[in-house]
Structure 1
């Protein structure tokens, strides 16, 4: 294969061939490695369906055995006010639902990841982090649900609109506090050492007025070997974070390319825009709930022990409707993210000026993302551009911006580094 790469590089030195350059990168993923990547990613398509069916089944069990009604009755023993009753109902619903779904979570989050060699943790460490995440959700989720039901009681006709605003406030708070209070519960963050690489990142950030006071490294290698980075937080909590895999498994050119991409997310205000568009979809989902859930309760409420929509025992009914809606809305959520990723790719290439570094980084993601896909497949299931499209964009940028560009053969075995 490398004889072909050498001849391709020599034959295109004068006129850079974007398609040939793209194929050079794509062909570095062959055989069992490619089949494994494709199988993992395509299997994820089915997980969307099976995950929805599992969620629906669990909510149906709550209703069939009148568990949510029992939770409501227990709440009424402790609280006289509806807010407190709803909080207790939501708390018990969250705990029991988590316990019932635990086998599914273990399979999808641990067993399957181990099967594809994408998780480095043992079960104990993995499960410990699941417990931390569950504890965090127990703090926020029942409170959010209690507020939503308060809105339902106060504005029974327009609650879905005000409820969308409530979700937006919670999302804003999570974006604010997560980098400082939640992320450190899972990883240790340390300031990046001074040196040429940090200087390049700072220079890129300053060129686009991105705050670069906090550039942190976090030890994600203890969980897996995937490379990642982000610009997170708002206002005083803004920070640039790179995982240790990015530094240890990639070249300086790849790190710069990835950081240019991440700076693009911040500079293009992707965080607030993403929240806005996601809230639009969530608002539609709550509107659907406001129409479908009362019909279901009117028809089956006596059997379930559910009085009306404002009754916190209706929580599994809302869960079923939302599960179906969010599964059908998967392409919409994916496209919000993928459009922004495309924009950040373009920004990152201009900022980092490392097209081959970006192409190599895109290929590394093939460990868990199918590298080539049809347009329909990408539209339905991809949260990011396919590796093929990212490599081609990089090579096109190189053809447009690099004088006397030549095709570079990636180092042999670089994907296994």
Structure 2
């Protein structure tokens, strides 16, 4: 459940500059998009490229096995009859039905998280540490996990309470009303996250005055993006990944960039990052994503409404379940939804990837930094397979691959830069990976 809630938010970062001081210019020949693209791709070779491929390929298995672990945790919960036992005891003690449901929801979230915790330690801490993507100690990481669990217990319990109430009052059309509940919860999280949730994990302070802030403000004002507050995040406490975003909705919209980006990027590079992120805001990607996820949620809940009754009938006596509105059936609901989410992951990846590609184009237009764009695409490829087959990118990538992004940047350069000259990219420095 924690993973499902954490995936509500989408962030992307692209950075770069034309004519970076660390890059040399090749001879003035007709600009060849493919040759220029390959020059960048060749900067990631040998062991570094093999490591990147291995991390990404393993990550696909981690994602799918994690979903299966969620389903397994739900199965263990119904087999142990923990919620059924709690429900029966509370009903005998005279507790009101909504309190019984809330208690069952909280117990489910707590116990299922504990069941999944060993997997989470390996997938989210040990594996990340082994690949050099984790700066935290185990204790620091555990503290963040505790905060995430507490938030999940509060918001997740309330959302499950609302969904079970809908199932009880509208047993035939609960999937439609349930879609409204889930969509409303996502919108609320997007509203609250930048102001109330994100500061629980990191410190946010105003970006100091200077060339970086001036460039960001100028770009934001030109594109109608709120820029009264621009925040710097101490993301280096977790990792060396570079990132930035325009988050929130309505009154909570804010621009943020992390300290890794500020330390490692030039002014033109930071401008290119923010150009991409502002694209998400100007193109209203947040609302398009929310609408697309609402539609997908409706389909999955409709399918769940057809599967759940059969499962409850099949395992009712063994699992001590009464009907689909029984609070003890919460693991059945979440298990079915998690399985359907796994099947739908190529579609959700495509939804995000299309919008990331649109933001890439916007970022190139507003920052006009194609070589910097290409160089940061290479940085990001230190943890994402850079040049996958088309079918693999379509199924498993929620962002365009590095090769796709570099090629887009070089095509943009050919189309928009007069007398474009190919840049000879320098060897990639041994830095921590980026995150877009």
Tell whether the structures are fold-level matches, with TM greater than 0.5: yes
Q: 1:204 to 1:297 in 2, by over 3 A?
A: same
1:211 to 216, 226, 231: 226
The aligned counterpart of 1:31 is: 46
The aligned counterpart of 1:384 is: 399
Contact 1:202 1:212 in 2 (8 A): yes
The aligned counterpart of 1:129 is: 144
Unaligned runs of 5+ in 1: 1-7
Q: 1:305 to 1:200 in 2, by over 3 A?
A: same
1: CA distance, partners of 2:124 / 2:110: 18
1:160 aligns with 2:175: yes
Contact 1:75 1:89 in 2 (8 A): no
TM-score normalised according to structure 2 size = 0.91
2:315 to 289, 300, 303: 300
The aligned counterpart of 2:301 is: 286
Unaligned runs of 5+ in 2: 1-23
2: CA distance, partners of 1:124 / 1:333: 33
Q: CA deviation at 1:410?
A: 2.4
2: CA distance, partners of 1:27 / 1:210: 37
Q: CA deviation at 1:298?
A: 1.0
2:255 to 228, 232, 240: 240
Q: CA deviation at 1:406?
A: 1.0
Post-superposition Cα deviations, 1:180-232, rounded to whole Å, max 9, x if no partner, equal 00100111111111111211111111111111111110000010011100001
Contact 2:215 2:267 in 1 (8 A): no
Matches within 5 A, 1:393-412: 393-412=408-427
Contact 2:242 2:258 in 1 (8 A): yes
The aligned counterpart of 2:329 is: 314
Contact 2:26 2:423 in 1 (8 A): no
Bigger fraction of residues in helix = 1
TM-score normalised according to structure 1 size = 0.95
With CA pairs under 8 Å and 6+ residues apart, which has the higher RCO, 1 or 2? 2
2: CA distance, partners of 1:68 / 1:336: 36
Q: 1:39 to 1:79 in 2, by over 3 A?
A: farther
Contact 2:216 2:271 in 1 (8 A): yes
3-state DSSP class of the match of 1:216?
strand
1:180 to 195, 198, 205: 195
The aligned counterpart of 1:4 is: none
The aligned counterpart of 1:81 is: 96
The aligned counterpart of 1:118 is: 133
3-state DSSP class of the match of 2:246?
strand
Contact 1:83 1:147 in 2 (8 A): no
The aligned counterpart of 2:352 is: 337
1:56 aligns with 2:71: yes
Deviates more, 1:40-49 or 1:176-185: 40-49
Q: CA deviation at 1:77?
A: 5.2
Q: CA deviation at 1:250?
A: 2.3
Q: CA deviation at 1:9?
A: 5.3
2: CA distance, partners of 1:296 / 1:65: 16
The aligned counterpart of 2:5 is: none
1: CA distance, partners of 2:94 / 2:136: 42
CA RMSD, aligned part only?
1.4
1:92 aligns with 2:97: no
Q: CA deviation at 1:274?
A: 0.3
Deviates more, 1:63-72 or 1:30-39: 63-72
Contact 1:121 1:222 in 2 (8 A): yes
Post-superposition Cα deviations, 1:266-295, rounded to whole Å, max 9, x if no partner, equal 000000110110111111111111100001
3-state DSSP class of the match of 1:329?
helix
Q: CA deviation at 1:10?
A: 3.5
Q: 1:74 to 1:354 in 2, by over 3 A?
A: farther
2: CA distance, partners of 1:320 / 1:168: 19
Runs of 4+ deviating beyond 6 Å: none
Q: CA deviation at 1:172?
A: 1.0
The aligned counterpart of 1:10 is: 26
